[in-house]
Structures are given as C-alpha cells and as structure tokens.
A and B are shown apart, each in its own frame.
Chain A
Amino acid sequence: MAEVDVDGTEVTVSEHEPSTTTSEKPLPGPDVEVRIAATPAHLSVLRAVAADLAMRADFTLDAISDLKMAVDEACSELISRSVPDGDLVCRFSVEAEQIHFSAEAPTTSLTPPSRESFGWRVLTALTDVVNTWVVPGPGDTHVLRFDLVKKRSDAVAL
C-alpha cells in the first residue's frame, strides 16, 4: 500500500492498518497521550503540545512549525469526521531523531480522507511519513486514524 510521493513523503491511504511500521524501532508507549473532546476549540491545545515537545527535542524552527501545522491538519480532519461527542485521542512519541504522532477519532465513514484533497497535500508536504486508515470500532462505528512522523531537521524539500 505504501508508495513514495513526489516530494519523498511515504504515503498510505487504505482501509486496513499498514502491515509494516515505518518507524525503525519498536514503539514503546507514547510519551504524551491527550484524550480530548473532538471539537475545533481544542486544536490550539494540541498544537501547543506538539510545539512544546518539538522545542524540547531541539527541532529546528521550521520543523517545529511544520509539526504544529501537520498536527493541526490531521486533528482538524479527525474532528470534522468525528461522530458527535466523539473523543479525539492523540499520542506523541519523541524518538531519537523524530517525533511520531498518531491520532484517532470515531467516525461513521468507511472512507479515509482523499489523497486529492488540499489537506492531504499539506500533510505530505509537512511530514516525512504520513498514513491514514479506517479500522472497525465498537458497534456500527469506525475509527479513523492518522499516523505521522516528523524528523528533527527540516530536510523536507519545499
């Protein structure tokens, strides 16, 4: 499912969890987990967490700003597709040279976000790896997930 986009970002859109993880090492628990109501009013908190972790991890200014924007983009997409009163769960893991961010929210839609959308273009431009997929949730619901990796230096070409 994974393929490399024009700008070198590895992208996957599928209805199944990718079978191989793109991270080099086994994932321990996240360093920070935030569970919050899936509403746009909370986006600024999530951006603040992303920026703070990236600053502490010595990210370059551009990489901090890119991570903030990527987290905002993924979470905006999750919020707009969330069921009413759904929870948005975000996990940040600070790894050796990168921050791994994953987020999920319950949704009624089986279809992951379109790769033709402006938002997807933004995400692939901002991150080093980005995946999104839908998994079955409790009852009739489904869960939409985003998974992205941002490296410490802003090596992503404009």
Chain B
Amino acid sequence: MTENSSSALPIDVVVDRPAPGVVVASVSGELDMLTAPRLHAVVTAELADCAVLVIDLSAVSFLGSAGLAVLVETSHEAERRQAQLRVVATGRTVRRPLEITGLDEVLTTFPTRDDAVGAPG
C-alpha cells in the first residue's frame, strides 16, 4: 500500500526514499486548484528532512497554474533550505504548461525518475 492512498481527491502523492537524503514524491492524477494544496503539504513536510527532493510528474494528467505555483514555491523553499528540487517532466501534458510559462528554464527538469535520482549533486 502507498503512503497516501486514502485520499479522496483525484490526485495521489506517493513518497519514496531510494537513497539516504533523497526523497521522491510521485504524483498521479490532476494537479489543479483542488488538488495542488495536497502536493504542497506533502512536499513541504518532506523538504524539512532531505537534501534532494524529486517531484515526479510522469503520471500527471493535467497541470494547471495552481500546480505550477506549488513547483515554484517548492523550488524557493528548497533553495532556502539548501536542498535541491528536481522535477521529472515528460510528455506533452506536463511539458507544455512548463514551456508556455517559461518554468522549464527555471526549474531543473529530467526526462525520467532514474535520471533525476541519479543526477550528480
């Protein structure tokens, strides 16, 4: 069973620690005004205790500006804590909103979870 599978929202955030100091938050479902606060709560809690936070958006079926705002806030928070935020962004559904807002230039993105986890610190 996953850590957050009880959510009634159309989003699921599963947290996993593949290596010491590395947290991967895998998001599936729709990331909009309704569900973005859930992702925000999970990543803010995880950020308190990790050096690298990977947000994996591979299974996201919609990414709206509320979701983008969580990514931006999390990247600022990571910077304050001297942690790294890495975003796994693959496929049109996720790439298009990042590109159209220019956030693909601001956030550190990777094509796969393995690339993000294995990237040199």
Contact = CB atoms under 8 A, between A and B. Distances in A.
Nearest to B99: A158
Given A79-B33, A122-B101, A61 B62 contact: no
A40 interface: yes
B62 A68 contact: yes
Contacts of B93: 65
Interface residues of B, number: 20
The main secondary structure of chain A at its interface with chain B is helix
Contact of A61 (B34, B92, B100): B92
Contacts, number: 62
B94 to A, nearest CB: 10
Contacts of B32: 40, 43-44, 47, 72, 76
Given A69-B97, A80-B33, A158-B100, A118 B69 contact: yes
A40 B38 CA distance: 13
B10 interface: yes
